[in-house]
Amino acid sequence: KAGVTQTPRYLIKTRGQQVTLSCSPISGHRSVSWYQQTPGQGLQFLFEYFSETQRNKGNFPGRFSGRQFSNSRSEMNVSTLELGDSALYLCASSPPGDTQYFGPGTRLTVL
């Protein structure tokens, strides 16, 4: 089975722009979660989607949003980028009650 894939792998944006990141889960996994990893804050939960519905949300501003499609693929969007949004964004998929499988991440740099 193919693993979790994330595109793009690297991204450079400037302040004020918006960005969309994509995640394709492992086939058959309906839950997709997003995490932000920074040196200062570590790994922090952004949100989780299941069957196209957001089930859980972390403590991030409304500039961070996401969605899930009927094929379980997910996108997250960050609007009005700030320097502090520079991070590694990780996506994970899981079957119910099992471990989460993480993708390689998207490295976002905001200049």
Contacting positions for another protein (CB under 8 A): 4, 31, 33, 35, 42-43, 45, 48, 50, 55-56, 58, 88, 90, 92, 94, 98-105, 107
**42/62 with CB nearer another protein:** 42
Q: How many CA atoms lie within 13 A of 107 on its CB side?
A: 4
> What's the min distance (Å) between Cβ of 65 and another protein?
17
**How far apart are CB 26 and another protein at their closest, in Å?**
12
The maximal CA–CA distance of the chain, rounded, in angstroms, is 39
10 vs 70, which CB is nearer to another protein?
10
User: What is the DSSP secondary structure assignment for residue 84, as one 8-state letter?
Assistant: G
* β 101-102/53-57 pair status: unpaired
Q: How far is the CB of 80 from another protein (least distance, A)?
A: 25
Q: CB-wise, 20 or 58, nearer to another protein?
A: 58
Cβ 83 to another protein shortest distance, Å: 20
- Burial class of 92 by CB neighbour count within 10 A (0 to 12, 13 to 18, 19+): buried
Residue placing its CB nearer to another protein in the complex, 106 or 110: 106
Residues pairing with 110 in the sheet: 13
Length reported for the chain: 111
